[in-house]
Structure 1
Amino acid sequence: MEKIALVTDITADLMEETIKEFDIHVVPLKVSFGDEEFYANQLTGEEFYRRLAKCDELPKTSQPSPEDFRALYTKLLKDHDEIISIHISSALSGTASVANLAKKTLNGKIHVIDSKTVSLALGLMVLDAAESIKKGLNAAQIIDRLTEVRKNVEILFTLDTLEYLQKGGRIGKVHGIIGSLLKIRPVIRVGDDGICETYTKTRSRQQAINSIAQAFKKLGNGKKQIRLAIGHGAAEQEALDFKEALEDALQLKASVFTQVGPVIGTHTGPGTLGAAIQFE
């Protein structure tokens, strides 16, 4: 049986226990506060959001270097037959492009996948691939399955403010300035093209939360719900309440509950609540 290594990037917002259980290799992106640059895994969520609250200028994020990928791929190819490398939407980051650049400099079976999604939804795709490896599927089967998984994964989130998404340049099809002025709280979806878009508009935080459960039911269109993930940006108690409400509405227990990491948090800010669901 071929030995397959699984790689992703830190924007998958995977729980530490999942990374360890499935031996997932996570490439960090970088976050800069002024002249201070960190790999995102050097900052705890608590430290990042504390810095974010105090900073005068928003931090900047940057993708890994080709050498970051080349070093990891080289190491993994020594004791693996193939590598599957699944990354944040190419519409939001150049990470997958950089991974492909590194791949071209090496002799080895490396499969770079543009997930066309981000954060919790990317994490669900990676988790599905990890389980497929454990079941003994080969690389071609896993890649085919990932195409289907992406069609059956949805992510929706609501923000405390659109300021971070605007200033970070990831506003996509979300109408930020008007929304901020009118105090509209959009529910944001990552579309099939991997770009953030307004799924629906609400007038309050609670309306936004309630609409996510209804949206998942509609987007699922009768399909079986198999996995639910919940994430937040420095809003744990709200997220626990959100988790309970969503579990009740969907009759599905969340298997993932995590804090959104520094890279995604730079663009979404504190107070973010989000969820991703996988259908079958």
Structure 2
Amino acid sequence: MKQIKIVTDSTVDLPQEKINDLSIHVIPLNISISGVDYIDRINLQPDEFIEKMEAAEELPKTSQPAIGQFVELYEKLTADGSEVLSIHLTGGMSGTVQTAESASKMVDGNITVIDSAFISQGLGFQVLKAAELAKEGASSEEIIKEVEKIRLKTKLYVTIDTLENLVKGGRIGRGKALIGSLLHIKPIASLTDGVYTPEANVRSYSALVRYLTKQYVQAVKGRTVQAIGIAHADALELAEKLKAALLEHTPDALIDIAYTTPIISCHTGKGAIGFAFYTD
């Protein structure tokens, strides 16, 4: 039966039950640890990844899906005349969306590829709404319009507990990391226009929670909060503290906490938090 089918990638950080219930199709990214290749969330789960990453001498490497995976899935989904909306993590952090775009041009079906400009639950907000609207029978134009609205209204912050992975990845020098470690500096960044953008440095978990809560309160003032999500890299206790602080300001909010994809924790290291929300 003709319908609109939703495709995304494994950085989406949505609960598996929602993915199943809404028939969302997920293309996994790839991870290499100490010369061994894994498929994100297929033969490597987020908690397992943290353990393997901690034990590895070198920083694990991540890579986008092969173009053939997209072509094969797109051909399968459009074979009955259905349309495909393929929504992916920001092109500022991965070539996945560009690969999806190239694959869409190799298939005869009606495929629209969207750069979410986000990752993790920021991406998840768009994918979830698209899948819900598709299930309700909305047109592709209506879905795309709503997804664009969500993108413009979303804020996403990332906090880092250890600078070690930034050193291994060549993002900062070891001397700077040593100073940061001695001062207990925890960088906070936002994802702005799809690009990782430094925002602030704090020196304690309590200061981190205060900063994020303050940003949230200022951003949602006079608006209706549509969704809030927290993702963590083996930092559930910190995620729960942030959730409690947010609930003091928005008591009726439903706040999802997820264990983030290895694609993110590979770059941030253990202890990182991702915090996303969007308003009307």
Name the TM-score, length of structure 1 as normaliser: 0.91
2:61 maps to which residue?
60
Confirm or deny: 8 A CA contact 1:158 1:209 kept in the other structure: no
Q: After the TM superposition, which residues 99-110 of structure 1 pair with which residues of structure 2 at under 5 Å, given as runs? A: 99-110=100-111
Name the SS of the counterpart of 1:69 in structure 2.
helix
1:118 maps to which residue?
119
- Single out whichever of 138-147 and 232-241 deviates more from structure 2: 232-241
Alpha-carbon distance in 1 for matches of 2:168, 2:54: 15
Confirm or deny: 8 A CA contact 2:243 2:255 kept in the other structure: no
Identity percentage of aligned residues: 36
User: Which amino acid in the other structure matches residue 60 of structure 1?
Assistant: K
Question: CA offsets, 1:234-265, max 9 Å, x none?
Answer: 12233223222222233343342210111111
Q: After the TM superposition, which residues 188-267 of structure 1 pair with which residues of structure 2 at under 5 Å, given as runs? A: 188-191=189-192, 193-267=193-267
The runs of 5 or more residues in structure 1 that have no matched partner are none
Name the SS of the counterpart of 2:11 in structure 1.
helix
Alpha-carbon distance in 2 for matches of 1:60, 1:252: 40
Q: After the TM superposition, which residues 180-195 of structure 1 pair with which residues of structure 2 at under 5 Å, given as runs? A: 180=181, 182-191=183-192, 193-195=193-195
- Once the two structures are TM-superposed, the CA of residue 170 in structure 1 deviates from its matched residue by 7.0
Q: Taking structure 1 as reference, are residues 255 and 80 closer, same or farther at Cα in structure 2, changes over 3 Å only?
A: farther
- Once the two structures are TM-superposed, the CA of residue 176 in structure 1 deviates from its matched residue by 7.0
- Once the two structures are TM-superposed, the CA of residue 165 in structure 1 deviates from its matched residue by 3.9
Q: How many residue pairs end up in the alignment? A: 276
- Once the two structures are TM-superposed, the CA of residue 177 in structure 1 deviates from its matched residue by 8.1
- Single out whichever of 228-237 and 59-68 deviates more from structure 2: 228-237
1:154 matched to 2:151? The reply is: no
- Once the two structures are TM-superposed, the CA of residue 181 in structure 1 deviates from its matched residue by 6.2
- Once the two structures are TM-superposed, the CA of residue 101 in structure 1 deviates from its matched residue by 1.0
Name the SS of the counterpart of 1:11 in structure 2.
coil
Confirm or deny: 8 A CA contact 1:243 1:254 kept in the other structure: no
User: Which amino acid in the other structure matches residue 161 of structure 1?
Assistant: T
Q: After the TM superposition, which residues 136-151 of structure 1 pair with which residues of structure 2 at under 5 Å, given as runs? A: 136-151=137-152
Question: CA offsets, 1:90-114, max 9 Å, x none?
Answer: 0110000000111111101100001
Alpha-carbon distance in 2 for matches of 1:56, 1:76: 41
Confirm or deny: 8 A CA contact 1:225 1:277 kept in the other structure: yes
Question: CA offsets, 1:190-232, max 9 Å, x none?
Answer: 00x2111122332212111121111012223522101111111
Alpha-carbon distance in 2 for matches of 1:109, 1:176: 48
1:70 matched to 2:71? The reply is: yes
Alpha-carbon distance in 2 for matches of 1:237, 1:205: 11
Confirm or deny: 8 A CA contact 1:185 1:203 kept in the other structure: yes
Alpha-carbon distance in 2 for matches of 1:204, 1:216: 19
